[in-house]
Chain A
Amino acid sequence: MALTIASREVDGVAVLDLSGRITLGEGSVQLRDAIRDLISKGQKSILLNLGDVNYIDSSGLGELVSAYTTAKNQGASLRLLKLTKKVHDLLQLTKLYTVFDIYDDEASAVGSFR
């Protein structure tokens, strides 16, 4: 299943609800475009909801890192919400768990930007 991205705003935080796979050719480009679009509009607080992301490959991991650094370089902040077990395990294995701020519930995640 390819990646679908739904965007909404909660208390000034842009929440992107991602669903499907983030892999080379199946989601990496959409994610990159969505992040760039938010940043170009001046959004400073971005939360990626990965609760329905069931597969991510090394390209997808790289895209998450690129999104994080792109946001940071533009003075914005990007955080992660609701990792599936597979994505959680991959972030731990690759030590990216130490890079991202990760939350299990949306209210805490949104509140963390204040």
Chain B
Amino acid sequence: MESVSEVEAAADRLAGEAGMDEDERFHVTMAVREAAVNAVLHGNAYDPAKQITFAFENTGTALVFVITDQGVGLDPDTLPDPLAPENLLRGTGRGIFLIRSFMDEVHFRQLHPGTELTLVKRLAPAGDNT
């Protein structure tokens, strides 16, 4: 889980440097953390022989985070809806939902093996942050 903390700290730093307000910074950091946890826990299934990679960039108009794992792959379309009444009391299954809620774009790509998850948070145009 050390890698998750490192990814989380990097995302928080990038969001802070981009001038995001506290709420946005919290949302971005949380989404990236959830993605990293998914990669370690569900993707790589805690296998120490498998790695996750993390890359991030401020393009000037958006923050882009790319996280990969070496697991068996994930089909996001098969995930149960955590807001459905029959799923509300489930103890798991909210991570991808939170990521989608907090980011502007979320893209999954199958790597065979592994999954690449790209998260995009658009930045407010210059002048909108004041």
A residues sitting closer than 8 Å to B (CB atoms) are 23-25, 57-59, 61-63, 65-66, 68-69, 86, 90, 93-96, 98-99
Q: Are B89 and A57 in contact (CB under 8 A)?
A: no
* A99 and B34 form a contact (CB under 8 A): no
Which residues of the other chain, A, contact B97 by a CB distance below 8 angstroms?
A: 58, 94
Q: Is the Cβ of A24 less than 8 Å from the Cβ of B98?
A: no
In the complex, what distance in Å separates the CA atom of A62 from the CA atom of B90?
Answer: 7
| Listed A/B pairs (28) with beta-carbon separation below 8 Å | A23-B33, A24-B1, A24-B4, A25-B1, A57-B95, A58-B34, A58-B92, A59-B37, A59-B92, A62-B93, A62-B94, A63-B91, A65-B88, A65-B89, A65-B90, A66-B91, A69-B89, A86-B26, A90-B98, A93-B98, A94-B83, A94-B94, A94-B97, A95-B83, A96-B88, A98-B88, A99-B88, A99-B89
* Nearest chain A CB to B10 CB, angstrom units: 17
Q: Which 9 A-B pairs have the closest CB atoms?
A: A62-B91, A58-B94, A58-B95, A66-B91, A25-B1, A95-B83, A62-B92, A65-B91, A69-B89
